[in-house]
Amino acid sequence: MAYSVGQRSSEIGLRMALGASTRSVLRLILRQGLGFAVLGLASGLAVAVAGTHLLKAMLFQVQPNDPAVYVAVVVLLGVVTLIAGYIPARRASRIDPMTALRQEYSRTRDDLYSRVTQPRRICPSKCCVGSLDENALP
């Protein structure tokens, strides 16, 4: 989650520069994190229910389809997901819009400069990736 928010810092800064509130930024990031968690929990519960008959011999004093265990796992993972999503979301809501826009501008400028100064390849195919044309103009 933190990596995803870090990658989207310029987008979040732009949203805030255009008038998005900190509450809407928090909601955006938490909704994304909870969406992934719901998908993971749904698929995990489906696999757990389907696999209980395989583990029936190894369970002691617990019913194979004990609803209390499933509810406890869902609640625990939901709380962990909220905490794991809230920390990066709170950090993202504190992004200074001007700083994020400056970073995006400098990244774009540096990317354009590196494209202009790199020598061209001899052939556009992937067969001679390492060879450079000495006579090609940048």
Q: pLDDT tens across 57-76, in order?
A: 777 777 777 788 889 999 99
Q: How far is CA 79 from CA 38, 49, 93, 115, in A?
A: 12, 22, 20, 46
Given a cut of 70, is residue 3 above it in pLDDT?
yes
Token reading at 119: 């020598």
Helix (H, G, I), strand (E, B) or coil at 132: strand
Query: What burial class does residue 58 get, using C-beta atoms within 10 Å of its C-beta: 0-12 exposed, 13-18 middle, 19+ buried?
Result: exposed
Under the banding of pLDDT at 50, 70 and 90, the label for residue 136 is very low
Selected residue with higher pLDDT from 80 and 122: 80
| pLDDT at residue number 122 | 57
Cα 125 from Cα 65, distance rounded (Å): 57
Domain spans of the chain? 2-95
